[in-house]
Amino acid sequence: MGIKLLKPSDPLLRQKSVPVTDFGIKLSRLAVSLHLLMRQKDGIGIAAVQTGRLIRLIIVSAPADSFLVPKNVYMCNPEIIYASEEKVESIEGCLSVIGCFKVQRHKIVTVRYQNVRGEFQQLTGDGLFSMCCQHEISHLDPGGLISQMGVPA
């Protein structure tokens, strides 16, 4: 499947992504393609919308500091069901934003999601895993990260 990143100025990046409802082979293929693209670009996370697919699918490939999390997690319809009150400053880059930016993130989050077979799962983590989950989930809704950051020239 030929997929590529949208340009940072693409208006699709500010659209709302819709829930994943079809957990068939096409979804698995798209997830694998996204994963490969993310690795090519040296990313630790990616959201389907970054390639113009407006569905709630993200990939997180980031370790936690004090929790055990899988190396690569494909998350459909991810939702943060717990976020620690404690926050930390995070300096982040994004495959759809030029340059880096500073944001406040919850130190620990629990994310509930469905895997590519539609089974519900949840993971808790801190560190990069937590930052990455919050970052990628923010791509899925119009008030999210991309809108806040605007488009650097």
Residues at the interface with Zn ion (CB under 5 A): 94
Please identify, using beta-carbon distances, which residue of 50 and 114 lies nearer to Zn ion.
Answer: 50
> Would you say 57 or 94 has its CB closer to Zn ion?
94
State which residue, 32 or 97, has the beta carbon closest to Zn ion. 97
Q: Smallest gap, in angstroms, from Cβ of residue 136 to Zn ion?
A: 7
* Inter-CA distances, 6 with 46, 51, 94, Å: 12, 5, 12
Burial class (CB in 10 A: 0-12, 13-18, 19+), 104: exposed
Question: How many CB atoms sit inside 10 A of residue 147's CB?
Answer: 13
| Residue 136 annotated in active site | yes
User: How near is the Cβ of 121 to Zn ion at its closest, in Å?
Assistant: 22
Catalytic sites, residue numbers: 136
